[in-house]
């Protein structure tokens, strides 16, 4: 029986009213004198908490939400007249172009066969010397 139901019956059957109830609780020496009519545990809050906990634990985390394009990879392939060749990785296409101008200033026409600049594997600039 809930406290509310017990209290109503006690009040109806007591001649002293609430004073008799107070005296009776002192006589019995009840352990918990701070009863409340509403339950201290609210089932709605517990259900919402468990639901949110499951939502957080089971949620899919995505690091790359906006899917920005990756940084461009710019390379410059150098083919030499003596049969050797190499590939430079450049920070930008402008840097590669300036580097090719420096090679030409040092005489690239004599020892280079070709220069090919590529961005993400596609040719964006080339020069054939021989």
**Residue 39: per-residue pLDDT:** 60
Assess whether pLDDT exceeds 60 at residue 33.
no
Proportion of the chain above pLDDT 90, given as a percent? 22
How large is the average pLDDT for residues 60-82?
79
Alpha helices in 1-130 (DSSP H): 3-13, 18-28, 43-58, 93-105, 108-111
Tracing tokens 């920005």 back to the chain, one arrives at 68
Q: How far is CA 58 from CA 54, 55, 61, 65, 89, in A?
A: 6, 5, 9, 18, 42
């Amino acid at each position: 029986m809930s406290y509310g139901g017990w209290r109503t019956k006690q009040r109806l059957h007591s001649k002293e009213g609430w004073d008799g109830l107070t005296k009776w609780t002192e006589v019995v020496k009840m352990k918990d004198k701070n009863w409340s009519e509403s339950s201290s545990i609210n089932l709605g809050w517990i259900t919402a908490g468990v639901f949110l906990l499951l939502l957080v634990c089971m949620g899919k985390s995505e690091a790359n939400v906006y899917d920005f394009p990756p940084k461009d990879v710019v390379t410059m392939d150098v083919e030499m007249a003596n049969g050797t060749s190499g590939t430079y990785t450049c920070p930008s296409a402008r840097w590669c172009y300036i580097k090719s101008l420096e090679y030409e200033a040092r005489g690239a026409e004599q020892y280079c066969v070709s220069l090919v600049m590529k961005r993400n594997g596609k040719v964006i600039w080339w020069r054939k010397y021989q």
